[in-house]
């Protein structure tokens, strides 16, 4: 059974949160400049993004048809994309 509040009754305010003080950051000399971890060259790391099911199926079929992996298709696609953006490839769909 729900309790009913009386008209004009005050709702208690929540307690204030304590501010945390972290202190001063370390100087550049004190800071550890080797705090970024990287993986060895050539080691695969996950890329987390989602695509729709039709795109995934088409991508996988493209890889199988060309006797490569999906990673291989991705790598080749990226290289072609970079060349295109650098103006080194001509878009055949544009008839200037």
pTM for this entry: 0.53
| CA-angle at 56, arms to 50 and 58, nearest 5° | 150
Give, to the nearest 10 degrees, the angle between helix 70-85 and helix 53-65.
100
What local confidence, expressed as pLDDT, does residue 33 receive? 64
What local confidence, expressed as pLDDT, does residue 14 receive? 83
What local confidence, expressed as pLDDT, does residue 25 receive? 77
Query: Rounded CA gap, 68 and 76, in Å?
Result: 10
Q: Residues in the chain with pLDDT < 70?
A: 1-6, 32-37, 95-96
């Amino acid at each position: 059974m729900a309790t009913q509040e009386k008209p004009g009754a005050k709702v208690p305010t929540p307690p204030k949160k304590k501010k945390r003080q972290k202190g001063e950051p370390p100087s550049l000399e004190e800071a550890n400049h080797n705090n970024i971890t990287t993986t060895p060259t050539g080691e695969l790391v996950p890329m987390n993004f989602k695509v729709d099911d039709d795109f995934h199926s088409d991508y996988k079929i493209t890889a199988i048809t060309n006797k490569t992996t999906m990673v291989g298709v991705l790598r080749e696609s990226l290289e072609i994309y970079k060349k295109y953006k650098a103006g080194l490839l001509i878009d055949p769909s544009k008839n200037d």
